């Protein structure tokens, strides 16, 4: 489902003496449907960078990244947008939303984008928000004023609303209490059971051992590069 071949990445800082920083060198990996793999490595090893490359958020200088057959490195922006809408989900560490939009709409939006009716999308959003213990009185408010943990849970609800066949999870259990951590791990297990291919970054080792089938040390591809 997710296939990386000889992927590498450099940052060129044109306004800082054109410094060239090599961050990822020759990564190859593949994730099958129903499988969850963890990216590990010290802080600065390039875990998030690699994940952002897979999402098409960062440019990839060499190699190919195939999601369900489409090479995101070479694809037109329009194809990447389509892939993100239908196939590839991403739960980032931060929630980014248009101010003023109610939480319920924020969570339902990915479903509306794939053509689910307003009623069905809202029903699913309510179910997820309840599951993640967001109090019902907050659903009609914009999440911009919520606490960090609440925003993180809204972000997770949004990320799991549509059943993407491929998912990227950047620290999904960070800043969550035990009860909500359990809910998130269950969501991940359910996604695996329905056949989603998942790549995750977990600093929470117990969570990692529970949901991940394999671990890949990103540090081995960046040896000597990380500060």
Partner 1 sequence: MTPLLSVDGITKRYGSHIGCADVSFDLYPGEVMGIVGESGSGKSTLLNCMAGHLAPDAGQVVFDTRADGPRDTVTMSEPERRMLSRTDWAFVHQHARDGLRMGVSAGGNVGERLMAVGERNYGDIRDKAVDWLGRVEIAADRVDDRPTTFSGGMQQRLQIARNLVTGPRLVFMDEPTGGLDVSVQARLLDLVRGLVRDMGLSAIIVTHDLAVVRLLADRLMVMKSGHVVETGLTDQVLDDPQHAYSQLLVSSVLQV
Task: HSE, CB side, 13 Å, CA atoms: give it for residue 61.
Answer: 13
Query: Residues 57, 93, 131, 175: which binds partner 1 (CB under 8 A)?
Result: 57
Q: Quick one: 52 or 192, whose CB is closer to partner 1?
A: 52
Q: Quick one: 90 or 191, whose CB is closer to partner 1?
A: 90
Is position 69 an interface residue for partner 1 (rule: CB under 8 A)? no
Site string for partner 1, 154-173 (x = CB under 8 A): --------------------
Q: Quick one: 11 or 189, whose CB is closer to partner 1?
A: 11
Let me know if 5 is exposed, middle or buried by CB neighbors in 10 A (0-12, 13-18, 19+): middle
Of 26-34, 51-59, 124-132, 166-174, which part binds partner 1 (CB under 8 A)?
Answer: 51-59
Nearest to 131 by CA among 89, 187, 175: 187
Query: Residues 58, 123, 126, 138: which binds partner 1 (CB under 8 A)?
Result: 58
CB of 14 to partner 1, least distance (A): 3
Which positions lie near partner 1, rule CB under 8 A?
11-15, 52, 56-59, 77-78, 80-81, 96, 98-101, 112
């Amino acid at each position: 489902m997710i296939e990386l071949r000889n992927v590498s990445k450099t940052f060129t800082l044109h306004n800082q003496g054109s410094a060239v920083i090599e961050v990822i060198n020759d990564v190859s990996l593949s994730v099958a449907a129903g499988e969850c793999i963890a990216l590990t490595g010290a802080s600065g090893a390039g875990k998030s960078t690699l994940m952002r490359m897979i999402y098409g958020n960062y440019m990839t200088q060499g190699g190919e990244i195939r999601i369900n057959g489409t090479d995101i490195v070479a694809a037109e922006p329009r194809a990447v947008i389509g892939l993100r809408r239908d196939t590839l989900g991403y739960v980032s560490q931060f929630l980014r939303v248009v101010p003023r939009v109610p939480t319920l709409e924020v969570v339902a939006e990915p479903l509306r984008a794939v053509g689910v009716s307003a009623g069905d999308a809202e029903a699913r959003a309510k179910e997820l928000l309840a599951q993640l213990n967001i109090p019902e009185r907050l659903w009609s408010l914009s999440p911009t004023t919520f606490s960090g943990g609440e925003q993180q849970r809204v972000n997770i609800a949004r990320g799991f609303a549509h059943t993407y066949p491929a998912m990227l999870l950047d620290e999904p259990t960070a800043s969550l209490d035990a009860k909500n951590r359990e809910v998130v791990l269950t969501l991940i297990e359910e996604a695996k059971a329905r056949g989603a291919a998942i790549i995750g970054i977990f600093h929470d080792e117990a969570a990692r051992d529970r949901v991940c089938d394999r671990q890949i040390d990103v540090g081995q591809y960046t040896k000597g590069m990380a500060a």
